[in-house]
Amino acid sequence: MLDIIISIFLILGAGFALVGSIGLLRLPDFYTRLHGPTKATTLGLGALLIASMIYFSSRGEVSLHELLVTLFLFMTAPVSAHLLAKAALHLRIRSEVDLPKDEQSKP
Amino acid sequence: MLANAILIAMALIILALVLNIWRVVIGPDITDRILALDTLYINAIALLVLLGIHMTSAAYFEAALLIAMIGFIGTTALCKYLLRGDIIE
């Protein structure tokens, strides 16, 4: 029973990571490409870490140090995505639609 | 059952890594390459977690935590360099 739950979480997580990477490869411009990895891949890694937590907790003592990796990633993924978007706006990377004005790079 | 699931998940993650490296190679702009490297380290953490389950060893989590920290610092440093032309002002 526990094996089935762990397997479902494993396949779900790996599938989400793959979907995020396909999005990174296929979407048309940088600002849409930013969506795929920063959401889908982080969610996939969260599911994999839940599976690992269940697996190691089922073998005896409760194992919670996967929570550290999960918390750290869920805190840092939005920060790095925000920094990347700011850098792309600063460099005026090509976009499919008109970009908003960059307030910081005024002379 | 579990062993097969781990193998399938590893195959999916390795395919994701190949797609990320492809984006690093073709990426038209520098920010695309940074984003692809960011995704690459997240997928590497996923592969390490899968290896930890496969080999039933808890030693892989320290490596995963270290890669998470150093990858985030690397992405932040590259973005700060693009934004300001300097990393530590």
Helix B30-55, helix B60-84: angle, nearest 10 = 170
Q: How many Å apart are CA A74 and CA B52, to the nearest integer?
A: 21
Q: Closest Cα of chain B to A78: distance in Å?
A: 11
A45 at interface of B, judged by CB pairs closer than 8 A: yes
The fold adopted by the segment(s) B2-84 is Helix Hairpins (1.10.287)
- Of B16, B36, B61, Cβ closest to residue A18: B16
What are the domain boundaries of chain B?
2-84
Helix (H, G, I), strand (E, B) or coil at B72: helix
- Assess contact for A52 and B53: CB atoms under 8 A: yes
Tens of pLDDT, residues B12-59: 999 999 999 999 999 788 999 999 999 999 999 999 999 999 998 878
- Token pair 């693009």: residue: B82
Mean pLDDT (whole number) for A57-83 = 87
Question: Considering only CA atoms, which of B9, B49, B38 is closest in space to residue A16?
Answer: B9
Q: pTM for the whole thing? A: 0.87
Amino acid at B52: G
- Of B23, B46, B76, Cβ closest to residue A80: B76
Tell me the two tokens of residue A5.
């739950």
Instruction: Say yes or no to pLDDT of A7 above 70.
Output: yes
A46 at interface of B, judged by CB pairs closer than 8 A: no
Label each residue of A18-80 as H, E or C.
Answer: HHHHHHHHHCCCHHHHCHHHHHHHHHHHHHHHHHHHHHHHCCCCCCCCHHHHHHHHHHHHHHH
Tens of pLDDT, residues A81-107: 999 999 988 888 877 777 666 566 554
Q: How many Å apart are CA A57 and CA A1, to the nearest integer?
A: 14
- Assess contact for A13 and B9: CB atoms under 8 A: yes
Q: How many Å apart are CA A66 and CA B62, to the nearest integer?
A: 10
Whether the complex's predicted ipTM surpasses the cut of 0.85: yes
**What residues of chain B, 8 to 47, have a C-beta less than 8 Å from chain A?**
8-10, 12-13, 15-17, 19-20, 22-23, 28-32, 34-36, 38-39, 42-43, 45-46
